[in-house]
A and B are shown apart, each in its own frame.
Chain A
Amino acid sequence: MYEFKLPDPGEGLTEAEIVSWKVAVGDTVAVNDVLLEIETSKSLVELPSPYAGVVAELLVAEGDLVPIGTPIIRIAEFDEPIAGDDSDSVQAVSGPVEDAPVNDGDRYFGSPEDGASASPVNDGDRYFGSPQDAGDGDAPHAPAPAPAQPSAMLVGYGAKPGAVARRARRGGGVVAVPETDQVQEAYDTDKPVSRHTDDVTPSEKLEDEASGEHLPPPGRPPTAGPGNGRPKAKPAVRRVARDLGVDLGMIAGTGPDGLITAEDVVAAASGGTQAPAGDQRLPLRGIRREMFRSMTASLAVPQATAMIEADVSGTVQLLDTLKKRREFDGLRVSPLLVFARAACLAISRIPEINAGYDADADEIVLHGAVNLGIAAATPRGLLVPNIKNAERMNLTQLAEALNAMVAVAREGRVQPYDLANGTFTITNIGVFGVDGGTPILSPGESAIMCLGTIRRKPWVVGSGEDERIEPRSVCTVSLTFDHRIVDGEMASRFLAEVAAIMSNPGLALMF
């Protein structure tokens, strides 16, 4: 019985997702037949079989996230009963290596078969003959005989199990103290200043791995294909449904890809517990999984939300002026642009808004740069690309950066670099026509500002005798903040500063 452990198909990966099995129990497989497809944070790859035999057991299921090195499949030798569990017999394949063909350069020059139509031209003085051409044709470099203890460790599996344990020092005997020990003593430290070579520390999981949706997924038809609305079932099952008077449209299939099975139909006919028809199950993959994870992680942070309703008429006027200026030719100029600039200015007064918590050092980090994230609904899903060093940009530069980012996001070409190291986020749900909301934090950031839609509303202006109601452009702005870092006063002051600039952009001159 062979057991195939999940290898690291990239470099230094720690886990992979089982996307689909290409074999089933009982299937006969040859060496290099594709067994399954897996997806890592780097790529989607097919894994070929190292063994020939009969599939005895699939040890992991599709959709599982599996650590590298986990046994994933058992393959029985042809004459082996599948029921037996003899997993300790995994061994390297052995064979007569010496008899196999070797690269002897030009010695094979010509056809592999003497006398074939292209007879070999053995001009022995040609360059690049085998280093041992003069020999009798034995392998120039037959591999050494198999090591006494065949390597049980595959290269792509990280640390060799058990190798971490140090061997005991032999008793007695005069041994020169290695230099590393001397250094260690000189520095009076308990920690080794160098490590024994097989004293391996397994690498940690890397954060911020590049991730993203693939271009055309090779050979994987979309699960919910161009639906013709017809429930998926084989003809025989349709017949059963017709006989039993069951509407297939009311049944949620339990077969692969939602296929309705005969059992499903019978269960439905007998009034058995029916799964609600039309349920669609979406796998948590790629960006969707990322959103799921980051939003779940966000809930670990105690957060609160404050709101302000701001008169942004001044900004609306400013935008009209800007749109006519040559510097903004070809650029989309929107209230978001002024909000972004206003936020950067307000952050310069309340730096805690643009901060994070460094758990390792147990310190709050007030970021020097504002890497301004803009939550974007892209074809790939929710993404928050950020503009690096937004605080250093004037309005024109910021407009260019925003326009470039929107274009990239719209084409679905956002790069991992654009997604990494954000420090503050703006989410503009106003574009969907809603008045406001209470966003939750992007992990690692201390605040997120949410913009509602800008509406013409009655607004009380003036005071005393002069008090009157005027139609104004009004917008609700909310700020969700990490209450461990930002208190209510800071949040309120930040919102008030932003609202003041939006109402009267000239105030920006005071920053």
Chain B
Amino acid sequence: MIEPEAGPDFVQLLDAGGNRVERTDFSCTAPDVELATDLRDMVLTRRIDSEATALQRKGELGLWPPSLGQEAAQIGSARVLRDPDVIVPSYREHGVAWCAGIDPLDLLTTFRGTGMTDWPSRPDTFHPYSFVIGAQTLHAVGMAMALQRDGLVGNDDAATNGAVVVYFGDGATSQGDVNEAFLFAASYAAPVVFFCQNNQYAISEPIELQSRIPLYRRAAGYGFPGVRVDGNDVLAVRAVTEWALDRARRGDGPVLIEAYTYRMGAHTTSDDPTKYRQNEELDAWRAKDPIARLRAYLERAGAIDQAWTDALDAEAEALAVRLREGCVRLPEPELSDFFTQAYADTPELLLAQRDAHQAYEAAFEEPR
């Protein structure tokens, strides 16, 4: 049995103590000031997450899937994306959504049941959250093949090239969809980066029960590279994702990135992880916290100081207040909007149904 977090196959550039690790194959060239922005993104993502979890516990949200502990994997991968890349998230990518410029209040509408996933602040390049496990990997491969056909891959002018990054979890790798997506992506050399956040549990099922081999090694069977990266190390995630994206944009085909991380919270707010895992395990991962190690590094490097940290804390708190107060004021949806949100060009039939519905609604007296 190979230690999962050791050896040359485990890409780590910042260890749990916040010390940089030199490697010949991957390196992070981002300056410290840019890493400081990553820290800010990670701290704010964590605050969004904890506030949303609290809102669920107060009955204001129906459900929330916490991202606690997975911030480095999400921020590190999202921050190396650029136009015309496309992002296809699962349902836990709150940090990716943040980097894509999505208002966290928009995220809440989905979990409060007041909105479709068509969030007002969503850019075209960010696909709605997918709740069907693994299904989005197939969509992503299709989008990547579309980029090929649009002539946005393998051009001499690298700036015009794009790729698709699709997020999924370790549990999804047990789905047929994901394996089909791997196969198609390999066959068509589709410009797609399969970004698997291995957070160790498919709800309660530990990864050891799902895979006889480390997940990144599955890629070899399909004929494309697989890399295991320390998912709690934002530097390593940046470096590996950047490499994979460049490769995909060039036209060299897909890459599987296994970001080895840990879901420190519950699967969702309906789940009680104390039923299937030990506190010692959680403590061991807490010692590898992605935020703590980056903060330690930046402090030692002199890139941030106490004033900076205090300001960030204040900003996070203000963000939490904004979510808390905004959540309860999210407007109730209009049923008639439902008819026009599925198609870019709404078919006649749906429009007729909407009109019939509105006429039907109008046939009633105002509620007393």
Q: Footprint of B on A, CB under 8 Å?
A: 4-5, 7-11, 31-32, 42-50, 92-95, 97, 100-106, 108-113, 116-121, 126-131, 139-141, 143-147, 150-151, 154-157, 166-170, 173, 175-176, 178-179, 197, 212, 214-218
**Interface pair A118/B59, CB less than 8 Å apart:** no
**Interface pair A95/B321, CB less than 8 Å apart:** yes
With A47-B58, A127-B81, A178-B356 in contact, do A215 and B328 touch (Cβ < 8 Å)? no
Residues on A with beta carbons closer than 8 Å to the beta carbon of B99: 105, 128
CA distance A49 to B98 in the complex (A): 26
With A45-B272, A141-B120, A212-B275 in contact, do A121 and B328 touch (Cβ < 8 Å)? no
Question: A116's closest neighbor in chain B, by CB?
Answer: B308
A104's partner among B34, B59, B82, B101 (CB-CB below 8 A) is B101
Majority SS at the chain A contact face: loop
Shortest distance from the beta carbon of B333 to any chain A beta carbon, whole Å: 11
With A95-B325, A218-B274 in contact, do A7 and B34 touch (Cβ < 8 Å)? no
CA distance A416 to B121 in the complex (A): 43
With A111-B36, A118-B303 in contact, do A93 and B325 touch (Cβ < 8 Å)? yes
**Interface pair B101/A128, CB less than 8 Å apart:** yes
The 17 sampled A-B contact pairs (Cβ below 8 Å) are A44-B272, A100-B318, A103-B98, A103-B102, A110-B37, A112-B311, A112-B312, A118-B32, A128-B78, A128-B82, A141-B103, A155-B60, A167-B364, A169-B365, A176-B359, A178-B360, A215-B274
CA distance A47 to B57 in the complex (A): 6
With A47-B57, A143-B331 in contact, do A169 and B121 touch (Cβ < 8 Å)? no
CB within 8 Å of A: which B81-108 residues: 81-83, 85, 98-106
CA distance A128 to B86 in the complex (A): 11
A155's partner among B59, B271, B318 (CB-CB below 8 A) is B59
With A147-B331, A218-B274 in contact, do A127 and B83 touch (Cβ < 8 Å)? yes
Shortest distance from the beta carbon of A20 to any chain B beta carbon, whole Å: 16
CA distance A173 to B363 in the complex (A): 8
1/0 contact string of B310-337 vs chain A (CB within 8 Å):
0110110011011011101111100100
With A102-B103, A156-B56, A216-B279 in contact, do A43 and B360 touch (Cβ < 8 Å)? no
Question: A149's closest neighbor in chain B, by CB?
Answer: B332
**Interface pair B328/A150, CB less than 8 Å apart:** yes
B59's partner among A108, A126, A156, A167 (CB-CB below 8 A) is A156
**Interface pair A176/B356, CB less than 8 Å apart:** yes
CA distance A147 to B328 in the complex (A): 10
**Interface pair B102/A214, CB less than 8 Å apart:** no
**Interface pair A9/B329, CB less than 8 Å apart:** no
Residues of B in contact (CB 8 Å), total: 83
Residues on B with beta carbons closer than 8 Å to the beta carbon of A103: 44, 98, 101-104, 121
CA distance A217 to B112 in the complex (A): 30
Question: B103's closest neighbor in chain A, by CB?
Answer: A141
CA distance A9 to B57 in the complex (A): 6
Question: B122's closest neighbor in chain A, by CB?
Answer: A131
Q: In the complex, which of the residues B81, B105, B271 has the most CB atoms of chain A within 10 Å of its own CB atom? A: B105
Asked if B276 is an interface residue, CB under 8 A from chain A, the answer is: yes
**Interface pair B322/A146, CB less than 8 Å apart:** no
**Interface pair A113/B272, CB less than 8 Å apart:** no
With A11-B270, A168-B364 in contact, do A111 and B308 touch (Cβ < 8 Å)? yes
**Interface pair B100/A105, CB less than 8 Å apart:** yes
Q: In the complex, which of the residues B58, B61, B270, B367 has the most CB atoms of chain A within 10 Å of its own CB atom? A: B58
**Interface pair A117/B325, CB less than 8 Å apart:** no
CA distance A9 to B58 in the complex (A): 8
Question: A8's closest neighbor in chain B, by CB?
Answer: B59
With A11-B270, A42-B272, A43-B275 in contact, do A126 and B82 touch (Cβ < 8 Å)? yes
CA distance A167 to B304 in the complex (A): 61
B303's partner among A46, A102, A117 (CB-CB below 8 A) is A117
B272's partner among A129, A166, A214 (CB-CB below 8 A) is A214
Asked if B63 is an interface residue, CB under 8 A from chain A, the answer is: yes
Residues on B with beta carbons closer than 8 Å to the beta carbon of A144: 329-331
**Interface pair B105/A167, CB less than 8 Å apart:** no
Shortest distance from the beta carbon of A352 to any chain B beta carbon, whole Å: 39
CA distance A7 to B319 in the complex (A): 24
CB within 8 Å of A: which B17-57 residues: 31-34, 36-37, 40, 44, 51, 54, 56-57
**Interface pair B270/A140, CB less than 8 Å apart:** no
**The 8 residue pairs across chains A and B that have the minimum distance between CB atoms:** A7-B59, A43-B272, A105-B101, A100-B322, A154-B59, A118-B36, A127-B82, A156-B59
